[in-house]
Chain A
Amino acid sequence: MRARLREWVLRIRGTFARRNDEVEEELRFHLEMAEAEAMRRGASVREARLQAGGLAQAAEEARDQSAFRGAADFLRDARLSVRSLAKQPQFTAVAVISLALGIGANTAMFSVINAAFLRPLRYAGPERLISAAEYNPKLDISTVIMPDFAAWKLHNQTFEQIEAYGRTLGRNLTAPDMAAERVQVGHVTPGFFAMLGIRPQIGRDFEPGESVAGRNAVVLISDSLWRNYFQAQRDMPGKGIFLGGAPYTVIGVMPPNFVYPDSDDEDQAALWAPDAVNAADSVPSHGRQDVFVIGRLKPGITLEQARANLETITRGMDGKYPRPIDSAHAASSARVLPLQEHLAGSYRMAIFVLMGAVGCILLIVCANVANLSLARSFAREREIAIRAAIGASRFRVARLLLAESLVLAAAGGILGTSVAYWTASVLGFLLPATIPRPIPVDLRVLGFAAVCSLGTAVLFGLAPSLRASKLDLNGALKEGGTHGTSRRNRWRLRESLAVAQLALCLVLLVGAGLLIRTFVNLLSVRVGFDPQKVLLASLQLQPRKLYGPDRQRDFARRVLGAVQALPGIESAALTSEPPVAASVIFPRIGFQVEGEAETGAVIYTTSVTEDYFRVLRIGMLQGRSFDEGDREGREQVIVLSRSAARILFQNRNPEGRRVLEPNPFGGQRNRWTVVGVVGDVRHEGLEGAVWPEIFRPLAQAPAGDLSLAVRAFSDPSSLAPAIRKAVGSIDRGQPVFGVETVEALLSNSVAQRRQRAVLLGTFASLSLLVTIVGIYGVMAYSVTRRTHEIGVRIAMGARRRDVLTMVVGEGLVMAAIGVAIGVLLSLVLTRVLEGLLFGLGPRDKMTYAIVSLVLVLATSLASYAPASRATRTDPIRALRHE
């Protein structure tokens, strides 16, 4: 075998090494020499030529030696295959289309994996870039606190460079003579961009030491901010701007398409400031500063060495400064991941689940085409037997059938790859923003498609080929291939293929079912208010120093007045925390009912204007809402949410009772009187928990972070420009941001889940379709083959129902076995879906039941058509069939 392979390799090399004209030139030289010799000796030239042999013949023989003779044979086989496939367009179409689906889906998914994990990141020396964190397995969180990072930077021996970045933070951007704009600001250590090998397209990078207070009022801006907001001014560096009211100098513009590592689409940084420590006013008094750490390993250092190094440094710092969750921190340990892996992090799961799904589809398709080809090869037994009888070797016959498989797979592969080429860009939502779009279909992806097609051909082509090469000539020729008697073992193969299809299909259907039910569960979550026709818009009064409580109150009153005066508005209110789209805020601990023991209740506080509950149509359960009279200086009143009331008062009546506000600084505590109770509202999308909430009148508890909630008479999104204008007329420096209808917010909050459910649902439906076609094929073939038998049965008095029951029964037996195996497989496999589900477990009985039922129904439908055809068998004709 090896020697043979070597021979082929040599032949192929020979083909390339020498071209035909070279061979001819050499031979002509030989002839001329022979003729010259003959003439010198005085012999006949003709004689000499004869003796040397024919030129054409010799050239042919030399060529035969050189050319890959197998290739010629194979081409002949392929031509033959194309001809015979063209004769059965139905079979060919079904096979090619299902192969195209299978290969296309796999290639498209692979292009996603390729983009996420295999293509090098677009940073300098990407292979040595890592992400480092302290991972706490108990809490499943990765954090690095600033002092730990400082220690790492100072003491490590394993990194060429190690830098950090913080979360992006929203800021109001104002510049002389320009409208205010809400932007996200990223915070990085000064060497961050240099380490990634990214240089500003205009201006300069941060300099070392520029993170020090007093020098850190410099920013780099993103290309899109530069183009869209600053109209691409060339003299950008040196320009002064204000962020949250504080002055900054722009020093440069980052290149286009540079995306801050790790950021989601909605809060991509538009500017970067040179430190990772600047979050003082958004995370009040939490005493900790999380950063994300990226480093470049020294050459030759392994991940494990780097990890151990960081771990040692962290442990050395124990006790030198407080850590946020000191007790839990003991369980943490340093974790070092290749940057690429880290970036794809949370997307990994869904990507691999979907890859598994498309793998399943490909297997189903293989089984399907194998079954179809088997049926076809049975029908061709006679042809094959004749070929074998007139001297074709087993190898030759098997090769012919394999050639057909290859032709089919190649057609499917080419079609599938072009499908993948167009769909790859649609799958962008599966990837984080850091990965450049569109998803490329590169050589690796094409290679995968080729391997996939080839593998498929072998998978589905092997069974028919092997069978054909073992064909019993005598039997096949005698039988004529119309009504087999040796049905038994052939059936077993075809049946098991169909059962395998059913089982895999069930796995996919269960997966899709679970995701779809997850999505339905989410949609049926009650948000606690009427989301229709409500528009939200946010404001953040900056700089904070200038906007004290009085100015906040004043601003709120004027904004609300201006907005309420707009046409098309039914009602409007202000709140410090918008429903559904809450920002990261922290609950307060220690609210206490006056005269009762402190229980450590954890409750969120929200300041709202009088109409808030009316605007959102939050149900008043008890007591009254706020009114004009609940102003500054009057009795301080609160409205509790249902869950807050339960936490503080259990089942007692809260109305008229007093609640003490916690005071972290000790001393005097504010006293609030409960005047009413309202229903619970969801703040963190549909998946988030319900917050226990205490509502206070905005006038009595003013806030700088405000959201407008506006109920419109008709389409609320049309109000956005008017609202921006109204707010701008009051204070130019306060940009309105996050203008969005509640319905859009709700729909966005489940968008990713919807997309995944739709995608897996599509995959599952495709596989169901392919499976039904497969079952139909099996049954139809079986019926045709048994025409004679069925004819006999009918002649002997079998009724229509008996025949129907017999055939459909066979289908149902397959379905039952397939479902049983599929359920077992699903129970094992769907466990990986756990993290993607909401409101149900991976073993949800309902899903399994529905899916199994669907599959059984589909199978009986698929076998009913052939069965009913069987009942119409005319016994006379069937028997004459002999």
Chain B
Amino acid sequence: MPNKEKADVLQGTLDLMILQTVSALGPLHGYAVAHRLEQVSNGALQVNMGTLYPGLLRLEQRGFIRAQWKRTENNRRARYYSITAAGRRRLDTEKAEWSRMASIMQILLLEESR
């Protein structure tokens, strides 16, 4: 089940990406998160709703982000997500873990092959 595997790998990184986005830009609604991810990746990262919202919900359930219904500038109701203290701690450890992993991968993939 290649699809499933890919999704699993993505899940971890997606969570991290959402956390980082929400943390950096403050309260954001789901669309803004997706939009932002698309923006920073220059369109390489297109997150559909079926991936994004379960991810948001997952993070919310684990207490890393919290959601609130608010009005947008155009006076539409939207759910705004902001990071919690626990989420911030989680983000820090995940970031550190990610850098560690990335440097290992760097060494493994690039330097070893030399």
8 pairs of residues in contact across A and B, judged by CB atoms under 8 Å: A10-B61, A14-B57, A17-B61, A23-B53, A26-B30, A30-B34, A33-B35, A53-B48
Q: A55: CB under 8 A from chain B?
A: yes
Give the contacting residue for A29; candidates B46, B54, B61, B78; CB below 8 A.
B78
Q: A29-B29, A54-B50 are in contact. Are A13 and B57 (CB under 8 A)?
A: no
Give the contacting residue for A66; candidates B34, B52, B57; CB below 8 A.
B57
B19-74: which have CB < 8 Å to A?
29-31, 34-35, 46, 48-54, 57-58, 60-62
List B residues at the A interface (Cβ < 8 Å).
Answer: 29-31, 34-35, 46, 48-54, 57-58, 60-62, 76-79
Which residue of A has the minimal Cβ distance to B63?
A10
Cα of A777 to Cα of B19 in the assembled complex, Å:
61
Q: Is the CB of B50 within 8 A of A34?
A: no
Q: A37: CB under 8 A from chain B?
A: yes
Q: Is the CB of B61 within 8 A of A11?
A: yes
Q: Is the CB of B30 within 8 A of A30?
A: yes
Cβ-closest 10 pairs across A and B = A53-B48, A58-B49, A58-B50, A33-B31, A10-B61, A65-B54, A62-B53, A30-B31, A53-B49, A53-B50
Contact with B along A30-58 (1 / 0, CB 8 A): 11111001000000000000011111011
Residues of B within 8 A of A550 (CB): none
Q: A27: CB under 8 A from chain B?
A: yes
Cα of A871 to Cα of B74 in the assembled complex, Å:
88
Residues of B within 8 A of A53 (CB): 48-51
Residues of B within 8 A of A32 (CB): 76
Cα of A23 to Cα of B52 in the assembled complex, Å:
12
Q: Is the CB of A27 within 8 A of B49?
A: yes
Contact with B along A3-21 (1 / 0, CB 8 A): 0000000110110011000
Cα of A27 to Cα of B56 in the assembled complex, Å:
12
Residues of B within 8 A of A64 (CB): 54
Q: A10-B62, A29-B31, A53-B48 are in contact. Are A62 and B78 (CB under 8 A)?
A: no
Residues of A within 8 A of B78 (CB): 26, 29
Q: A33-B31, A52-B48 are in contact. Are A27 and B53 (CB under 8 A)?
A: yes
CB distance from B30 to the nearest CB of A (A): 5
Give the contacting residue for B49; candidates A14, A17, A22, A30; CB below 8 A.
A30
Size range of the interface on A? 20 to 34
Q: Is the interface of A mostly helix, strand, loop or mixed?
A: helix
Which residue of A has the minimal Cβ distance to B62?
A10
Cα of A398 to Cα of B51 in the assembled complex, Å:
33
Cα of A58 to Cα of B31 in the assembled complex, Å:
14
Residues of B within 8 A of A33 (CB): 31, 35
Which residue of B has the minimal Cβ distance to A33?
B31
Give the contacting residue for B53; candidates A13, A37, A61; CB below 8 A.
A61
Residues of A within 8 A of B30 (CB): 26, 29-30
Which residue of A has the minimal Cβ distance to B34?
A30
Q: Is the CB of A34 within 8 A of B31?
A: yes
CB distance from B46 to the nearest CB of A (A): 6
Residues of A within 8 A of B51 (CB): 53
Q: Is the CB of A61 within 8 A of B61?
A: no
Residues of B within 8 A of A17 (CB): 60-61
Which residue of B has the minimal Cβ distance to A25?
B77
Q: A26-B30, A29-B31, A29-B77 are in contact. Are A65 and B49 (CB under 8 A)?
A: no
Contact with B along A814-829 (1 / 0, CB 8 A): 0000000000000000
Cα of A31 to Cα of B52 in the assembled complex, Å:
13
Which residue of A has the minimal Cβ distance to B49?
A58
Give the contacting residue for B61; candidates A13, A34, A55; CB below 8 A.
A13
Cα of A25 to Cα of B57 in the assembled complex, Å:
14
A367-390: which have CB < 8 Å to B?
none
CB distance from B10 to the nearest CB of A (A): 14
Q: Is the CB of B48 within 8 A of A58?
A: yes
Q: Is the CB of B50 within 8 A of A65?
A: no
Cα of A17 to Cα of B79 in the assembled complex, Å:
13
Residues of B within 8 A of A29 (CB): 29-31, 76-79
CB distance from A32 to the nearest CB of B (A): 8
Residues of B within 8 A of A31 (CB): 49
Which of A34, A53, A57, A64 has the most chain B CB atoms inside 10 A of its CB?
Answer: A53
Give the contacting residue for A58; candidates B29, B53, B62, B76; CB below 8 A.
B53
Give the contacting residue for A37; candidates B35, B48, B60; CB below 8 A.
B35
Give the contacting residue for A61; candidates B34, B35, B54, B79; CB below 8 A.
B54
Q: A25-B77, A34-B31 are in contact. Are A14 and B61 (CB under 8 A)?
A: yes
CB distance from A575 to the nearest CB of B (A): 84
With A17-B61, A32-B76 already in contact, 7 other A-B pairs whose C-beta atoms are closer than 8 Å: A26-B78, A27-B53, A29-B30, A30-B34, A30-B52, A65-B54, A65-B57
